[in-house]
Amino acid sequence: MTIVTRIIRRSINLSLSAVSLALAVISLHSPVHAQASYPDKPIRLVVPYTPGGGADTNSRMLAQPMSAILGQPIIIENRPGASGVVGAMAVLQAPTDGYTMFYDTFPYAVNAVMRDLPFDPVKDMIPVSQAINMPLILVIPASSPFKTLKDLVDFAKANPNKLDYGSYGAGGAAHLAAELLQRDAGIKWTHVPYKGGAQAIADVLAGRLAGYFSNPITALQHLKSGKLRALATTGTTRMEALPDVPTFEEAGYAGFRVVEWNGFFVAKGTPTNIIERLAKAVNEATKDSAVKARMESMGIEPVGNTPEQFTTFLQGEIKQWRALVQSNNIRAD
């Protein structure tokens, strides 16, 4: 072999090596490789509510085990404002690579039927997994003359608008649960909106408000101390923390179901395999023994399901609240 031939072959081999290296670098930065190695950096979880609230607390309970499962930190970013719109837009404006998730609650489905939004909750976000269910409790002052739900309904029928109920704003779970009872029981009672649930529960405790649909996190301590009385719960089964309190269905209101759910979303365009990976992490986190025990002690039901199951659930929520908003002529604030 001549010297010239050797030089030519060596040049060819070097060129091929350079091409191979370039292809390897391109592969490492390709979407396919990025998906295969997901996650390889921290994940941002946008919560559209203030720190310390129910959604924020619940998201943090799940973020810790999810971080261990995924092998990357999950960083909570609170972006409150405009009934969740500020947080949703922050997610929709981020890259659709699975490194930005959205954690929203009950108002997500209600906003779809009550408000003009800058995005489509059905088309622009993809449900990943439902995190929790939290049935509500119809609570009344301990000094109230009503001992049962029937007592309250009978009085309200005979005395239209003489009873008042509290909520933390139009379209919230407390408001819509009371509107649902008004429709299904054929009663009229007066809505008193507050800026937050703490103010509403304070007025029930003081006897200034006839009733309030409270979440268990707020109500259980007062029920256990005897300062409030529970008439019924809005889940499909009795709450473990309140085994002696009937559900609305048991009290004769078929299909009466209201839950303050929480769930994870990502923006449309996020790869399917990443969505499935995140859903699996949520499922495993909700089954964590420590998380499950803590939630159940607070009256919270851990869920964890597939994107398809969460999508079906949301479709049912939107259908239910659209019908109620139309029948009761409910308006947003």
Per-residue confidence of the chain (333 residues) as pLDDT tens digits? 555 445 445 554 544 454 444 444 444 454 554 567 899 999 999 999 988 888 999 999 999 999 999 999 999 999 998 889 999 999 999 999 999 999 999 999 999 999 999 999 999 999 999 999 999 999 999 999 999 999 999 999 999 999 999 998 888 899 999 999 999 999 999 999 988 888 999 999 999 999 999 999 889 999 999 999 999 999 999 998 899 999 999 999 999 999 999 999 999 999 999 999 999 999 999 999 999 999 988 889 999 999 999 999 999 999 999 999 999 999 876
Give the closest residue to 214 by CA, choosing from 172, 171, 153, 161: 172
Q: Is 26 helix (H, G, I), strand (E, B) or coil?
A: helix
Name the strand (E) or helix (H) holding 199. helix 197-205
C-alpha 240/C-alpha 245 separation (Å) is: 10
Give the single-character DSSP code of 50: -
Compute the Cα dihedral for 222, 139, 244, 258 and give only its sign.
negative
Q: Which residue has the tokens 């303050």?
A: 260
What residue segments make up the domains of the chain, in order of their start? 41-134+259-327, 137-233
| Terminal C-alpha separation, the chain | 88
Greatest pairwise CA separation for the chain in angstroms: 111
**What is the pTM (predicted TM-score) of this model?**
0.83
pLDDT recorded at residue 32: 53
Domain over 137-233 is classified CATH 3.40.50.10380: no
Q: Which residues contact 114 (CB under 8 A, 6 or more apart)?
A: 170, 171, 321, 325, 330, 331, 332
Q: In this structure, which long-range contacts are made by residues 88-91, counting pairs with CB atoms below 8 Å and at least 24 apart in sequence?
A: 88/48, 88/119, 88/121, 88/125, 89/118, 89/119, 90/46, 91/46, 91/125, 91/265, 91/266, 91/267
pLDDT recorded at residue 24: 47
pLDDT recorded at residue 333: 65
Is the CB of residue 139 less than 8 Å from the CB of residue 223?
yes
Give backbone dihedrals phi and psi of 241, rounded to 5 degrees, phi first.
-75, -15
Give the closest residue to 111 by CA, choosing from 129, 101, 125, 95: 125
Is the CB of residue 100 less than 8 Å from the CB of residue 115?
no
**Which superfamily is assigned to 41-134+259-327 in CATH?**
Bordetella uptake gene, domain 1 (3.40.190.150)
CA distances from 197 to 29, 216, 288 (A): 48, 12, 29
C-alpha 117/C-alpha 122 separation (Å) is: 11
C-alpha 40/C-alpha 57 separation (Å) is: 26
For residue 26, what are its two tokens? 């391109």
Q: Which residues contact 143 (CB under 8 A, 6 or more apart)?
A: 207
Give the closest residue to 262 by CA, choosing from 112, 128, 79, 132: 132
Give backbone dihedrals phi and psi of 254, rounded to 5 degrees, phi first.
-60, 135
**101-119 tens-digit pLDDT:** 999 999 999 999 999 999 9
Give the single-character DSSP code of 246: P
Q: Which residue has the tokens 């954690």?
A: 103
The edge-to-edge listing of strands for the beta sheet with 137-141 is 190-193, 164-167, 211-214, 137-141, 228-233
Question: What's the CA angle centered on 15, arms 14 and 19, to 5 degrees?
Answer: 120
